[in-house]
Each structure stands twice: as structure tokens, then as C-alpha cells.
Amino acid sequence: MKMSATTVRRGLYGMFAGGLLALGSAAMVAPAANAQPGPGAESDCSLSAIASTSSTVSASTSTYLASNPVANEALTEIATQPQEQATEAFRTYFAENPQVESELTAINQPAADLSSQCGIDVTPTPISTALIDV
């Protein structure tokens, strides 16, 4: 079964929104610190390590956005746009909000590091994908 980009994007958006609902009431913690892989994980390209890193990055992104409703609303609106428009809208938003970009980049750094180390795409959230495109 072949899925269109729109179907995949909608599925990712739904997964992202579900994560926000599940963790929306969580207390704000240091998301970047929580997103760090454990000792020895630097060279682990197993599916379990990828899933663990993705899960941690997703949870930290959710916590960050739940505690920053203005950013959450703006980025959610952008994520619903067609891919070409969304890519440009994310660039514009991050250029106008460098602190949000910096904080989300720090949260997503473990996924970016794993992508680089393992030679595979690790993009646990639409924000992860947007930060690659910026």
C-alpha cells in the first residue's frame, strides 16, 4: 500500500497532537537535559535506541510546547499547511523567534546526533523535520 505525502503528514500531525494531549498536563522540566541519550548510547544504532531517543525527544518537545502556548499554536497552524508552504512558514517563524528555534533545536539535538551517527533519518516530530529544513 502506497501512502501519499499528505497521508503521512496527517498521520504524523495526529501522532504529534496525541502526544501533546497525553503530556499536556506534565510539569515543565528541563527538556534538553531529558533528551540526552544515556552513557554508551552514542554508538548504538539499534532500533530500540532510535525508538528510545525518538520517544524522549517527542516527550520533551510536547512538554516544551505545552508550556509555551503561543509557540504551540503558531507551530501547529504551520504544520497543517501544505509541505512547500509549511517549510517556508517554519523558516520565517524561526527567523522571527530565534529563542524558540534555539530551545527546540537543543531538545531535538539527540535525534539529529543519532541521524548523523547512524546515517538514517530520525525525525520523531514535525518540529524535528522543520528544524532540519531551516
Report how far residue 119's alpha carbon sits from residue 16's, in angstroms, rounded to the nearest whole number.
24
Report how far residue 23's alpha carbon sits from residue 102's, in angstroms, rounded to the nearest whole number.
22
Q: Residue 38 carries which side chain, given as an amino acid letter?
A: G
User: Which domains can be identified in the chain, with CATH numbers?
Assistant: 44-134 (1.20.20.20)
pTM (predicted TM-score):
0.66
pLDDT, tens only, 46-66: 999 999 999 999 999 999 999
pLDDT, tens only, 11-24: 555 555 444 433 43
The Cβ of residue 15 has, within 10 Å, a number of other Cβ atoms equal to 14
Angle at 84 between CA 81 and CA 90, to 5 degrees: 70
